[in-house]
Copies of this chain bind each other. A is one copy, B any other.
């Protein structure tokens, strides 16, 4: 199959859409939706996010000044609210108040945890570096809060219950999570055996 070279852009998707939030210096909760986000370490658990630094986003400023942030997962039935938080600006208005969202202070760090989101992480900034147009921020997870309704009996998050938003950067659209169809490690281990390794 011949390969074609594409125009240089971030085609790389899909990623989960999440809402980052932080208190500004006056105690107001800022929030922005972003899709540049991934876990990055197991022990201790850490995540990395990328926020456009050329647009002077208020949430970015509040994350850097407070040194802490929360990450919340909107569900598919919250797509309007999540997308809105990505298009309006906290300099002009109180985005969370506008949509009836409320926050509770984190239990481990001074961050606003959005009550209406079913899964939230409380994070402390451990590393930052400017990468092109974005600020790359690594956070250590200090606490994880979840609604009981998205957990199984062992206390693990069930993605089918969380119904996260999967963002398609190329198609400018949100997808649902599809079906689970293969186990990790087991699938590879069986295949390994089948090829005589």
Contact = CB atoms under 8 A, between A and B. Distances in A.
Interface in A140-174: 140-141, 143-149, 151, 155-159, 164, 166-174
Given A13-B39, A16-B15, A185 B83 contact: yes
A159 B182 contact: no
- Counted per complex, copies of this chain come to 2
B180 A178 contact: no
B177 A184 contact: no
A11 B168 CA distance: 21
A177 to B, nearest CB: 5
Interface string A38-70: 111111111110101000000000000000000
A111 interface: no
